[in-house]
Structure 1
Amino acid sequence: MKTLIVYNHPYNGSFCHAILESVKKGALEAGNEVDVIDLDSDCFNPVMTGADLIAFKNRQAIDEQSIDYINRLREADHLVIIFPIWWELMPAMMKGFVDKVIFPGSVYGYIGSGHGLRTMLTNLKSTTVITTMNTPKLKYKYIYRNAIKNALIKGTFKKLGLKKVKWISFNMIKTSSEETRKKWLLNMEKKFANK
């Protein structure tokens, strides 16, 4: 089994980075091969250019880094995406990953009249999105209407037809205790050790 982790956070001292290490450790304990795409370390350019949009229309990616990511995604059995929520949304690099890697002709195709989508990620058995934020869970749900759930989980992954898509959210990070964070990290390690 191959676990692909797509990670986006510019600071290696962040709680997101600690989550990355716990997920990686757990997946390795499960005997999985682990591949990490670190968008920040890779200096990924999230901007869709005019040429990228023409390529989108023609259903053939042209950005070399995106093509590499697409190939790695197509080989994955499990996908894990880790990022912080800033201003109630994903950072630019993660949004750019969605724009430039979730690409027609490589990751999905159109059904019939072009209104439906079908996944081309035939190996993918599960997708887990893990986020951190400082917004309280109920406030994010009722005031901000679960923006990530609606845009990324439903509006992207489930629309593509991916199965077993889960979202794990760690809220109120700044005010959480060291003990709570250690417990969360241990739970992440155990979760991915059992995959």
Structure 2
Amino acid sequence: MRVLVLYAHPVETSFHAALHARVVQILRAAGHEVDDCDLYAEDFNPVLSREERLNYRDTTCNTAGVADYVQRLQRAEALVLCFPTWCFGLPAILKGFFDRVFVPGVAFDISDPAHVQPGLAHLRHIAAVVTYGRPRWMAWAMGDPPRKVITRYLRALCGRGVRIRYHARYHMNVATRDQLEGFTQRVEAALRKLPT
């Protein structure tokens, strides 16, 4: 299966960097064709410009600045997102990727605004590997926006046939090495089950 991995963390020595490397390794070892998109390494610009916002609904030109990323997304059959949660939200670079790449004509059809249709029906599987500094109860109290973006927003863009898995490690601030290794092993086991 063609898998687009979206990775968003700026520190190469972080736990999330090691987790991302394992995700890519497991997917490749399982026989998947992996397109590893490290948003920081690729220097992705997350800022939606004035011109892009003005042309947002114009499907003839709204992807001009991100055409390569659109092609990579459209080629994928599965999407795996690896990111930390900061301030109970997505890292700005990943949010900017959604703002600039998941546009009308790509992620959804808005030609009839009263009946918006999903545009990512080619995605059969989505998995998120997410870390949180704070405990789960606090994320829940805040509404856990990252979980909703992955499990609700992306589902709406893909349609009912997509399978979504959300792997979260809460309370990173006090996690032991054994707990982190256990989380990594659970993620690896889940990704090995992704059909090729």
TM-score, with normalisation over the residues of structure 2? Answer: 0.89
Stretches of structure 1 that go unaligned for 5 or more consecutive residues are none
What are the within-5 Å matches in structure 2 for residues 15-164 of structure 1?
15-59=15-59, 60-64=61-65, 66-110=66-110, 113-141=112-140, 143-154=141-152, 156-162=153-159, 163-164=162-163
Q: Given that residues 88 and 144 in structure 1 are in contact (C-alpha distance below 8 angstroms), is that contact kept between their aligned partners in structure 2?
A: yes
Across the aligned residues of Structure 1 and Structure 2, the Cα RMSD in angstroms comes to: 1.7
Q: Assess, with a 3 A threshold, how the Cα gap between structure 1 residues 158 and 117 changes in structure 2: closer, same or farther.
A: farther
Question: Runs of 4 or more off by more than 4 Å in structure 1?
Answer: none
The code of the aligned residue for 2:41 comes to: S
Encode CA deviations 1:70-113: one digit per residue, 9 max, x unaligned: 101111111011111111111110110010010111232136x4
Encode CA deviations 1:93-144: one digit per residue, 9 max, x unaligned: 0110010010111232136x41333233342101112211111012211x20
- Per chain length, whose mean CA-contact separation is higher, i.e. which structure has more relative contact order (CA < 8 Å, sep 6+)? 1
| Displacement of 1:152 | 4.4
What are the within-5 Å matches in structure 2 for residues 151-190 of structure 1?
151-154=149-152, 156-162=153-159, 163-190=162-189
Between the aligned partners of 1:158 and 1:116, the Cα distance in structure 2 is 16
| Displacement of 1:63 | 4.2
Stretches of structure 2 that go unaligned for 5 or more consecutive residues are none
| Displacement of 1:190 | 2.2
The code of the aligned residue for 1:157 comes to: L
Identity of aligned residues (%): 24
Between the aligned partners of 1:152 and 1:126, the Cα distance in structure 2 is 11
Q: Assess, with a 3 A threshold, how the Cα gap between structure 1 residues 70 and 133 changes in structure 2: closer, same or farther.
A: same
Match of 1:11 in 2: 11
Between the aligned partners of 1:129 and 1:191, the Cα distance in structure 2 is 11
Q: Assess, with a 3 A threshold, how the Cα gap between structure 1 residues 151 and 186 changes in structure 2: closer, same or farther.
A: closer
Q: Assess, with a 3 A threshold, how the Cα gap between structure 1 residues 147 and 77 changes in structure 2: closer, same or farther.
A: same
Between 1:32-41 and 1:49-58, the stretch displaced more is 49-58
| Displacement of 1:22 | 1.6
